[in-house]
């Protein structure tokens, strides 16, 4: 049973926070596909404090998504704590997560994201100050270290624990690796052995079998799935099914995939309007098409789409063509 603070999750599968992806439209789909916890994309502490319209919109949580974790990032104690207080008071999120993993220079230059990984004392100080200031459980998502010479994963996680953090999610890469190489799960396993708060392992889980293997081999309390769920919420559902009953559910058909893609689009339109949603859905539609046959032409055409109806016609036109071909063969 994975419990974060006083929140009990119904399973061990967590949707990773992903900027530009984990808004209420996709999070709700992930929740409907069974995710025990969904994480929102990171929001800037300063954006919240300056009441930047875009940042405040990112704090919206649909009741149906809960339990949900909202992630903030920042490099200064005062603003981080103030933003956490805002999230605590003004949102219906269940958990406040602090980002200590973002590798991009724009963020690390401000002492935020992965920059924290070099200084366990700073981690302690910032997490303790945040925990003191809010009611909701505070968690941290971190990478294993800054670079291969500075892997302080265990010390950093222990600092989170001492400071009163309710759980830690560990992505098994260093900041310098960005998304290259492979996640080092041995280090995630070391973290698990050295703290008593829940540890959620993250990095490179691409099948239900891998999720089960990581849970068993490294003893982590939960698995966090990111890229494998892009355009593929079935990855969450199939993993949960496999963990529960040992059965691998069939892969979705092209039509099932496009039905969910359009549900995703309709929710995104409600959230952002048709223009923005259509532009954003181009990348999602390409992800939904991944793994399906003969997608070359449809993938190119996605990028010309400017309306919901255009996208729907294009995607279902592709589905019909594929279904006809399958019928001819069988």
Catalytic residue numbers read 102
164 CB neighbour count, 10 Å cutoff = 16
Please report how the helices 77-90 and 120-133 are oriented relative to each other, as an axis angle in degrees rounded to 10.
30
Tell me: is residue 89 an annotated ligand-binding position: no
Contact with ligand FMN (CB under 6 A) among 32, 41, 76, 210: 41
Q: Is residue 144 a contact partner of residue 131, using CB atoms and an 8 Å limit?
A: no
Q: Is residue 56 a contact partner of residue 48, using CB atoms and an 8 Å limit?
A: yes
Is residue 5 a contact point for ligand FMN (CB under 6 A)? no
Is residue 174 a contact point for ligand FMN (CB under 6 A)? no
- Structure-token match 């892997």, residue found: 151
Rounded Cα gap, residues 212 and 205, in angstroms: 10
The residue (of 96 and 102) whose beta carbon lies closer to ligand FMN is 102
* Dihedral angle of Cα 131, 134, 140, 145, to the nearest 10 degrees: -50
Is residue 18 a contact point for ligand FMN (CB under 6 A)? yes
The residue (of 158 and 239) whose beta carbon lies closer to ligand FMN is 239
Tell me: is residue 141 an annotated ligand-binding position: yes
Task: Report 213-252 residues binding ligand FMN (CB under 6 A).
Answer: 225-228
Tell me: is residue 201 an annotated ligand-binding position: no
Is residue 101 a contact point for ligand FMN (CB under 6 A)? yes
The footprint of ligand FMN on this chain (CB under 6 A) covers a number of residues equal to 22
Helices (H), the chain: 24-32, 45-49, 53-57, 77-90, 105-108, 120-133, 153-162, 185-194, 208-218, 234-245, 254-272, 274-289, 296-302, 308-329
Q: Which residue has the closest beta carbon to ligand FMN?
A: 226
Task: Report 53-72 residues binding ligand FMN (CB under 6 A).
Answer: 71
Is residue 16 a contact point for ligand FMN (CB under 6 A)? yes
Is residue 202 a contact point for ligand FMN (CB under 6 A)? yes
Among residues 119, 120, 96, 115, which one has the least CA distance to residue 104?
115
Contact with ligand FMN (CB under 6 A) among 30, 95, 191, 205: 205
Tokens linked to 288: 């939904």
Interface contacts to ligand FMN, rule CB under 6 A: 16-21, 41-42, 71, 99, 101-102, 141, 171, 202-205, 225-228
Known binding positions? 17-19, 71, 141, 171, 226-227
Known binding positions for FMN? 17-19, 71, 141, 171, 226-227
């Amino acid at each position: 049973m994975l419990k974060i603070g006083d929140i009990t999750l119904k399973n061990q599968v967590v949707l990773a926070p992903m900027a530009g992806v984990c808004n209420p439209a996709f999070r709700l789909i992930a929740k409907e596909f069974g995710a025990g916890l969904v994480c929102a994309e990171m929001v800037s502490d300063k954006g919240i404090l300056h009441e930047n319209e875009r940042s405040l919109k990112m704090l919206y949580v649909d009741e149906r998504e809960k339990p949900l974790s909202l992630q903030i990032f920042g490099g200064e104690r005062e603003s981080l704590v103030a933003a956490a207080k805002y999230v605590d008071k003004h949102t219906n999120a269940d958990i406040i997560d602090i980002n200590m993993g973002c590798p991009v220079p724009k963020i690390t230059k401000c002492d935020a994201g992965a920059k924290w990984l070099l200084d366990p004392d700073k981690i302690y100080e910032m997490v303790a100050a945040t925990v003191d200031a809010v009611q909701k459980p505070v968690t941290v998502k971190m990478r294993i270290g800054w670079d291969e010479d500075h892997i302080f994963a265990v010390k950093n996680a222990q600092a989170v624990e001492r400071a009163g953090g309710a759980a830690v999610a560990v992505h098994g890469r260093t900041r310098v690796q960005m998304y290259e190489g492979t996640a080092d799960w041995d280090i995630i396993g070391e973290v698990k052995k050295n703290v008593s708060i829940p540890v959620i392992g993250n990095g490179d889980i691409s099948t239900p079998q891998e999720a089960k293997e990581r849970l068993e081999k490294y003893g982590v309390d939960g698995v966090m799935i990111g890229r494998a769920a892009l355009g593929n919420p079935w990855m969450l559902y199939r993993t949960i099914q496999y963990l529960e009953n040992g059965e691998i559910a069939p892969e979705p058909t092209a039509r099932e995939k496009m039905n969910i893609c359009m549900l995703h689009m309709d929710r995104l339109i409600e959230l952002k309007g048709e223009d923005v949603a259509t532009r954003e859905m181009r990348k999602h539609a390409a992800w939904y098409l991944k793994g399906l046959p003969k997608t070359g032409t449809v993938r190119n055409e996605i990028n010309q789409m400017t309306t919901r109806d255009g996208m729907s016609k294009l995607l279902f036109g592709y589905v019909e063509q594929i279904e006809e071909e399958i019928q001819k063969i069988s």
